[in-house]
């Protein structure tokens, strides 16, 4: 087999890259280890930056998002029982969109089907070869038969545990990691969101978050120790913990109900440099992981896709390698700025086991600096809504 760009991974970043490249006349083959049903069953984030929504529209997959998604203009902070509102739209002129990652993936699959995109599911034992040459290859096994794909470039959109990042020699990689000493216990419930829609809470008992997926689907979280198990948390215990942490004004509008999904996500920050090795490019979780605080994970992956498709389109149109050679530097600049934002918000809103009274006062001071200053709110909102590409 032969194609121009081989894409490893059929998550939203791999599918979006394939969609953008095919619309520019660049052929792709997408390889995915899991089934399509499995990919679409993943429960992930649901807050899209303004740049993400713009790129989805440019890819021809924004119609259902614009029809069914919920524009998101502001965010609330609950701090020591008080509720504060930050008017993100008023400060920046931009909006977020509440639209689940599963819905984005569904739309991208439909768009790929419509243009006849090549997506191969059930691809086992994927391996990348000769990535520093001008004739890289990808091999895999499907139904017991080995396949070989030659290509011009390879995009590794296969997540943290995929084969793409380890293809870069260990001695050529620099990895940076921070592991946080707690996790988020999250539940999905068929209940209306709180009236404030999105509320980040810092309380003496720990962090909490109320968020929405749609008018009758809510996603809520509470900070828990890493030693906790999902089995330790009944629905009743979860709702009690969440209610206890919320300001009274939010608590009054909270509707509880049975969970339809419950999980604990550990929090960590991770970056691998470089994001390009020869003709292999890393996108999304293959190169970086952010805590869910601030909803940067999917949006960062989309930023990577923007830079990569721009570089590839330029190359095939003009023969230039400038964008390709600059991809890692451009992407990492945006990645580290988003990392800083997510790290700062995580440090400011959570209770750490080793916190001293001084540390608590510093958290309070950080929050006061944000909530008492219009200039600080504007700078915060600009990053929350999404840095420009």
Tokens of 62: 């924004």
The DSSP string of 195-223 is TTS-EEEEETTEEEEEEEEETTEEEEEEE
Three-state secondary structure call for residue 84: strand
Report whether the peptide linkage leading into residue 274 is cis, meaning its omega lies within 30 degrees of zero.
yes
Determine what percent of the chain falls in helix, strand and coil, rounding each to the nearest 5.
40, 30, 30
Helix H or strand E segment including 93 = none
What is the rounded CA–CA span in Å between residue 280 and residue 155? 6
Strands 47-48 and 70-72: unpaired
Tokens for 4, please give them. 């121009």
CA 71-209-187 angle, to 5 degrees, is 95
Rounded distance between C-alpha atoms, residue 256 and residue 132, angstroms: 54
Q: Provide the token pair at 137.
A: 């290859």
Beta strands in 39-159 (DSSP E): 47-48, 70-72, 75-79, 82-86, 96-98, 118-121, 124-129, 137-142, 145-150, 153-156
Catalytic residue numbers, as ranges: 72, 200, 292, 296, 384
């Amino acid at each position: 087999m032969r194609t121009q760009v081989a894409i490893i991974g059929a998550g939203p970043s791999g599918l979006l890259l394939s969609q953008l490249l095919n619309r520019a006349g660049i052929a792709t083959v997408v390889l995915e280890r899991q089934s399509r049903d499995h990919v679409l069953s993943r429960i992930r984030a649901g807050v899209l930056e303004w740049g993400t929504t713009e790129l989805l529209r440019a890819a021809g997959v924004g119609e259902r998002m614009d029809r069914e998604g919920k524009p998101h203009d502001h965010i609330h902070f609950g701090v020591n029982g008080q509720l504060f509102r930050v008017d993100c739209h008023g400060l920046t002129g931009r909006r977020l969109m509440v639209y689940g990652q599963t819905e984005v993936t569904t739309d991208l699959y439909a768009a790929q089907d419509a243009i006849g995109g090549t997506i191969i599911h059930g691809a086992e034992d994927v391996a990348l070869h000769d990535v520093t040459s001008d004739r890289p290859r990808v091999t895999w096994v499907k139904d017991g038969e080995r396949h070989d794909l030659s290509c011009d470039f390879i995009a590794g959109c296969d997540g943290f545990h995929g084969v793409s990042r380890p293809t870069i020699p260990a001695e050529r990689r620099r990895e940076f990691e921070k592991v946080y000493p707690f996790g988020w216990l999250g539940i999905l419930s068929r209940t209306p969101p709180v009236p404030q829609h999105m509320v980040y809470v810092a309380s003496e008992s720990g962090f909490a978050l109320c968020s929405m997926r749609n008018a009758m689907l809510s996603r809520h979280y509470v900070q828990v120790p890493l030693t906790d198990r999902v089995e330790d948390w009944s629905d009743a215990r979860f709702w009690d913990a969440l209610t206890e942490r919320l300001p009274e004004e939010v608590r009054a509008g909270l509707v509880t109900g049975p969970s339809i999904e419950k999980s604990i996500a550990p929090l960590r920050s991770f970056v691998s440099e470089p994001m390009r090795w020869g003709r292999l490019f890393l996108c999304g979780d293959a190169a970086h992981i952010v805590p869910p605080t601030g909803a940067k994970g999917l949006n960062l992956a989309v930023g990577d896709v923007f830079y990569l498709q721009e570089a590839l389109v330029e190359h095939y149109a003009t023969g230039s390698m400038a964008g390709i050679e600059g991809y890692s530097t451009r992407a990492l600049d945006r990645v580290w700025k988003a990392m800083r934002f997510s790290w700062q918000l995580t440090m400011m809103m959570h209770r750490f086991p080793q916190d001293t009274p001084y540390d608590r006062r510093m958290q309070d001071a950080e929050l006061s600096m944000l909530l008492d200053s219009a200039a600080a709110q504007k700078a915060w909102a600009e990053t929350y809504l999404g840095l420009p590409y």
